[in-house]
Amino acid sequence: MIFIAAATSQLGNLVIQSLLEKIPASQIIAGVRDTNKAQNLSAKGVTLRIADYNDPDGLERALLGVDKLLLISSGDIAASRQQQHANVIDAAKKAGVGLIAYTSILNADTSELLLAKDHQETEKYLKASGVPYVFLRDGWYIENYTGSIPVALQHGAIIGASGDGKISAAARKDYAEAAAVVLTSDGHENKIYELAGDNAFTLNEYADELSKQVGKTIPYVNLPKDEYAAALVGAGLPEALVNILADSDIGASKGQLYSKSKDLGGLIGRPTTTLKDVIASSI
Ligand SMILES: NC(=O)c1ccc[n+]([C@@H]2O[C@H](COP(=O)([O-])OP(=O)(O)OC[C@H]3O[C@@H](n4cnc5c(N)ncnc54)[C@H](OP(=O)(O)O)[C@@H]3O)[C@@H](O)[C@H]2O)c1
């Protein structure tokens, strides 16, 4: 049995969609906090089990009989994600899970991003647990940018603080497909995959492609970190998230979201989805 934790995340849904093309629904368990959010999965024959990263006992019950677990990193940045992930790893070990694939961050070994800390600690904890692991070190989602196309069109500009930093972002569904491959094929135990898009781009290049596709110039405006953070606060984003986003942009300007790795295309067996295609499907 394959268990997807945080299955109601956008990534989790895409992983399950990809798994369903490879194995019967009867072999898939979706770990969810709210079954109402997972009716689409249940309708496809996927089993639902309650799995809250803050509930160690519940996690152990949920993971009984599971062979492979995809631990999708928690989206709750206000919580101790490190503790939440440790709860899942402990429960999986007690339940006898045979392999844990963890969605980490690109360049986790060297990343100085604020976001990287939880991932680095989780990788260390998982390695020390003795449970066979796979680190799926996911790069940035292209959707992190395309998700704010409506805002960019409204304001007539894209703002950020990543300068000329090259960003090896990839489509969320490509990372999902890679996870599904790892969960349904052999030979991935204790492997580390640096997952990144084939064609890195700067935000100027992103703005050029968006402008071309919408038929209107939407320039990229690079801001100092503080000004960028102030703009995000002004747009109503919570401060904790703003700190992380501004810090990540500065990291991107220093190449921390860049990678030459071809692991993603290698796992999914095709070139990664292009920026052009992700933009086209978002407008
Ligand atoms: N690579 C990137 O660019 C990037 C960007 C954003 C996030 N991420 C990371 O990658 C993960 C997947 O990305 P995504 O875009 O699919 O995220 P998402 O759609 O925002 O989903 C976040 C998930 O975290 C789950 N979660 C929060 N607290 C939890 C808890 N206590 N127990 C169990 N689950 C909990 C949420 O559960 P509910 O569905 O029950 O609310 C939700 O499913 C994120 O959680 C985040 O760690 C990566």
pLDDT digits (tens, 9 = 90+) for 18-43: 999 999 999 999 999 999 999 999 99
Query: In which domain, by residue range, is 102 found?
Result: 2-140+171-196+260-268
* Ligand 1 touching residue 8 (CB < 6 A): yes
Is 14 part of a structural domain of the chain? yes
- Residue 237 falls within a domain, yes or no? no
Q: How many domains does the chain have?
A: 1
Answer for the pair 101, 183: CB distance below 8 angstroms, yes or no: yes
* Residue 186 lies inside a defined structural domain of this protein: yes
Q: Does residue 11 sit within a domain?
A: yes
Query: In this structure, is residue 152 part of a structural domain?
Result: no
CA 106 to ligand 1: nearest atom? 1
Identify whether the C-beta of residue 52 lies closer than 8 Å to the C-beta of residue 59.
Answer: yes
Q: Among 3, 10, 11, which residue has the most ligand 1 atoms within 8 Å of its CB, making it the best to mutate?
A: 11
Mutation choice for ligand 1 from 36, 74, 80, 120, CB with most ligand atoms inside 8 A: 74
> Contact 273/174 with Cβ under 8 angstroms?
yes
Q: Is residue 166 part of a domain?
A: no
Q: Is residue 220 part of a domain?
A: no
Give yes or no for a contact between 224 and 203, defined as CB atoms under 8 angstroms apart: no
* 73 pocket-lining for ligand 1 (C-beta < 6 Å): yes
Under DSSP, the state recorded for 22 is T
Helices (H), 97-187: 116-129, 143-146, 149-155, 172-184
As beta bridge partners, residue 221 has 159
pLDDT, tens only, 45-81: 999 999 999 999 999 999 999 999 999 999 998 889 9
Domain of residue 132, CATH code: 3.40.50.720
6 CB under 6 A from ligand 1? yes
Ligand 1 touching residue 111 (CB < 6 A): no
- In degrees and rounded to multiples of 5, residue 191 shows phi and psi of -100, 155
User: For every one of its 283 residues, what pLDDT tens digit does the chain have, with 9 covering 90 and above?
Assistant: 999 999 999 999 999 999 999 999 999 999 999 999 999 999 999 999 999 999 999 999 999 999 999 999 999 988 899 999 999 999 999 999 999 999 999 999 999 999 999 999 999 999 999 999 999 999 999 999 999 999 999 999 999 999 999 999 999 999 999 999 999 999 999 999 999 999 999 999 999 999 999 999 999 999 999 999 999 999 999 998 999 999 999 999 999 999 999 999 999 999 999 999 999 999 9
* Whole-number Å distance between alpha carbons of 177 and 17: 9
Q: Is 194 in the pocket of ligand 1 (CB under 6 A)?
A: no
Instruction: Decide: 152 and 210 in contact? Cβ < 8 Å.
Output: yes
Distance from Cα 97 to the centre of ligand 1, integer Å: 22
Cα(79) to centroid(ligand 1), Å = 12
H or E, element range at 133: strand 133-138
Query: Does residue 46 lie in a domain region?
Result: yes
Type of residue numbered 99: L
Nearest alpha-carbon partner for 69 in 105, 37, 101, 23 = 101
Q: What's the confidence (pLDDT) of residue 204?
A: 98
Distances (CA, A) of 1 to 29, 99, 148: 7, 11, 37
Q: CB-hemisphere CA count at 13 Å for 77?
A: 12
* Tokens 């196309």, residue located: 149
CA distances for 115 relative to 31, 140, 199, angstroms: 24, 12, 23
Ligand 1 center to 19 CA (angstroms): 19
- Mean model confidence pLDDT for the chain: 97
DSSP H or E run through 14: helix 10-20
